[in-house]
Amino acid sequence: MNEQGKVDKTRRSLLIATSVAGGAAGVGAAIPFVASMWPSERAKAAGAPVDIDISGLAPGELGVFEWRGKPVWVMKRTKEMLEAIKSADSKVTDPSSKVKSQQPAYAANEFRSAKPDLMVLVGVCTHLGCSPKLKPSDDKAEMGADWNGGFYCPCHGSKFDFAGRVYKGSPAPINLEVPPYMLTDSTLVIGEDAEKKGAKA
C-alpha cells in the first residue's frame, strides 16, 4: 500500500471514530432532554386532589392552601359577611341574577359555593395574576366609606366581595375562580377528582 493509501485509510478510520463518538454523545444528550419532558413525581403530585380538614377553621378566618401551585382560600364566612355579599350585589359586575350560569354547578348561586358559609376561591387576581389581600369591612379609611369587606389587589386596584365577585370599574375582567371541590363532613377535597364527583352540601 502506497503512502496515499495509508493516509486515506487513516482519514477514513478517524472519520468513523468521530461519527461514532458524536452519535453516542448525541444520544447521551437526548436522554436527559427527553426525560425532562416526562412529568416528575412532584409534578404529578401537584395536580393531585388536596384534602383539607376545615373543622378547626374559625368563623372569619382565612385559610390558605396550595393546589396545583396556586393558593386556594378557604373561609367560614360569618353572618355579617353573607350580608355584605348581598349588599354588594349592585356594585359587582356579576350580580346574583347572572351567577346562576356559572361553573362549577354548585357555585351557581349568590354565594358561589356549595354551602353559604363556606368560601373556596383561587386566591389569584384575574387581571395579571397578583395575590389580593383580605380587607375587612372596618378598613374603610383605605377602601372607602361604602366598603363592606372583601378582597383588594394592591397591584392595580381590583376589588372583590366575599364571594369573589369583581367590583365594577376594576381592572380584573372576571370573578375569582372557584376551584373544583367536594365537601364531606369536615373535609374539603380540592382537585379534578372532586369536580367529577361534584360537591355535597
Q: What is the pTM of this model?
A: 0.72
pLDDT digits (tens, 9 = 90+) for 102-129: 567 888 888 999 999 999 999 999 998 7
Query: Which amino acid type is present at position 1?
Result: M
Give the whole-number percent of the chain exceeding pLDDT 90: 47
CB-based contact 176:72 (threshold 8 Å): no
Residue 10's pLDDT is 53
Q: What is the 3-state secondary structure (H, E, C) of the chain?
A: CCHHHHHHHHHHHHHHHHHHHHHHHHHHHHHHHHHHHCCCHHHHHHCCCEEEECCCCCECCEEEEEECCEEEEEEECCHHHHHHHHHCCCCECCCHHHHCCCCCHHHCCCCCCCCCCEEEEECCCCCCCCCCEEECCCCHHHHCCCCCCEEECCCCCCEECCCCCEECCCCCCCCCCCCCEEEECCEEEECHHHHHHCCCC
In the predicted structure, residue 32 carries a pLDDT above the cut 70: no
Average pLDDT over residues 181-195: 79
pLDDT digits (tens, 9 = 90+) for 134-176: 998 988 888 888 899 999 999 889 999 999 999 999 999 999 9
Instruction: List Cβ neighbours of 2 (8 Å cut-off, separation of 6 or more).
Output: none
In the predicted structure, residue 17 carries a pLDDT above the cut 80: no
pLDDT digits (tens, 9 = 90+) for 51-72: 999 999 999 999 999 999 999 9
Helix residue ranges per DSSP H, 62-149: 79-87, 96-99, 140-143
What are the grid coordinates assigned to 107, written together? 357555585
**CA–centroid distance for 150 within its chain:** 19
- Which has more pLDDT, 44 or 133? 133
